[in-house]
Amino acid sequence: MSLVRTLFDFKPLRSAIAAGALLRGGIYLLLGSRYRGIKDLCWVYRVAGIGLYRRIAIRAIKKSALSASAAGSNEILDSFLRSRFASSAARKYVQSGNGGSNDLFRDVMVLKKQDKAEKGVIIIKYAKTFEAFLSFFDMDRVSERFFIVLEPCWAGYCDPSILMFVSPGRRVFVQCFTDDDFDFISGFSPSLVPIRMGPADWVDSDLFKPLPVLEKDYDFVMVANWARHKRHDALFKALKRIKDRRMKVLLIGFNWGGRTTADMERLASGVNNRFVEIEIKENLKQSEICEYLSRSKAYVFLSWKEGDNKALVEAMFAGLPAIVYRHSIGGAVNRINSRTGILTTYEELDRNLLYMLDNYRRFTPREWAVANTGSRISTGRLDGLIRKTALECGERYEKAIAEKTNSPNLAYRDPGMLGHFADEYAFLRRSFRDRWSGRSPNSRSGSRGRTEQGRSAEPT
């Protein structure tokens, strides 16, 4: 566990930090800097975990957001657009259309055309892209033509990047992969319509599937970047305690959070257990990851907090049961049941590794995944909710949305759909706010296409 988290777990210190953030947020609100103030209050509600301060913060947040919405505007968004934060969010992106890691349209996708009186649909991925989208685009113009779907990738939805989409008469669909976030969105505003799904629900089940291999030559595989919160250290500690079984473990990842593959090799060498062999692979393509999953018996997921882990569900589609950290915050725990795997604490991990090694054949993760998740099922569920909501609002809705996958970023299952939606992308480019019209805030262009099978620019 990192020193920062250890200190933050000390409640008196956390309480003092939360009180300071609450006070600063209130001062910002009094000074008219609504976005900055709400940002602090959202942090208190989302992160601090101090009951009294959470209640004070959410009352202020709702009062600010909902009273402004009733008046016909979103004052948090107006404040954001006047601030340096809007320009900062926009400068992270270009609009080259080539799908590179800095391209706005890598993380913004059209799912349905506007047709006569029938609205189209667009989806936006990642919280940082939400703010950039709001900075770039005339939201009134975009909302007249499209329903908007948000795909956050981290747990904790009390955040300005989502609340700035609240607007009277507008319906914005928000994917929610934890019960807490679903309940938060459900009770916040009619503008925000929750649906129980997340980024991991868009796995391509045709790509991730068991491959015919002669031998399962890895006992366990872990697919995760090298950041500390992925808790490779918990795995290494458990492997040190294995005393009577030979075990081969594969780690697949890439540099992140200041840690490199060389760091991981050094940490893995510290296991120093003659029964355990650890192999490390970096920067693999999705097709290569699928191959290694098929050569493995079971999957390990140990993060203490993150979003909705796509690699976990990819492993299930590839036929691997999973061992998941019991207290993980995010979408992972919700996907574990008697068919897909087991839950563990860090202290019991060595025993559960041995249990899984003896019992992995008893699980049926792919069958569960095919019946409950994946891009086909998720496309139908999302389309059904948008249709239902549109009809309830008196809107016409006849044509279905296109199927998309996360591979690892937004991609059409049918690559030809990019050309099919050319007019809609052209409309979006004509819908920039005046401050960005005719120019890009950043001249850099990326190099990766939307359908590239390499690693994501976001943490896995």
pLDDT at 97 over 50: yes
> What's the CA gap between 441 and 443, in Å, rounded?
7
What is the CATH number that goes with domain 218-370?
3.40.50.2000
Q: Are 320 and 221 in contact (CB under 8 A)?
A: yes
Q: Are 149 and 122 in contact (CB under 8 A)?
A: yes
Q: Using one digit for the tens of pLDDT, what is the confidence trace for 173-190?
A: 999 999 999 999 999 989
> What letter represents residue 337's amino acid?
N
Residues 6+ apart with CB under 8 A from 363: 321, 339, 340, 341
Q: Using one digit for the tens of pLDDT, what is the confidence trace for 257-281?
A: 889 999 999 999 999 999 999 999 9
Q: Which residues pair with 149 in a beta bridge?
A: 123, 173
> What's the CA gap between 135 and 82, in Å, rounded?
10
H or E element: which one contains 247?
Answer: strand 247-253
Q: Are 242 and 354 in contact (CB under 8 A)?
A: yes
> What's the CA gap between 221 and 289, in Å, rounded?
10
Q: Using one digit for the tens of pLDDT, what is the confidence trace for 6-33?
A: 666 767 888 999 999 999 999 999 999 9
Degrees to nearest 5, angle at CA 67 with 62 and 73: 115
The structure's pTM equals 0.90
Domain map (residue ranges) of the chain: 3-69, 83-202+374-429, 218-370
pLDDT at 413 over 60: yes
Q: How confident is the model at residue 65 (pLDDT cuts 50, 70, 90)?
A: confident
Report percent pLDDT > 90 for the chain.
74
Segment 380-397 mean pLDDT: 96
Report percent pLDDT > 70 for the chain.
90
Q: Using one digit for the tens of pLDDT, what is the confidence trace for 271-313?
A: 999 999 999 999 999 889 999 999 999 999 999 888 899 999 9
Select from 327, 324, 275 the least CA-distant residue to 298: 324
**Predicted local distance difference test score (pLDDT) of residue 458:** 44
Select from 424, 457, 459 the least CA-distant residue to 102: 457
Q: How confident is the model at residue 215 (pLDDT cuts 50, 70, 90)?
A: confident
Q: How confident is the model at residue 214 (pLDDT cuts 50, 70, 90)?
A: low
Taking the CA atoms of residue 383, residue 460, residue 132 and residue 140 in that order, the dihedral angle to the nearest 10 degrees is: 10
Read off the tokens for 426. 């052209």
Q: Hey, is 182 helix, strand or coil? A: helix
Q: Hey, is 27 helix, strand or coil? A: helix
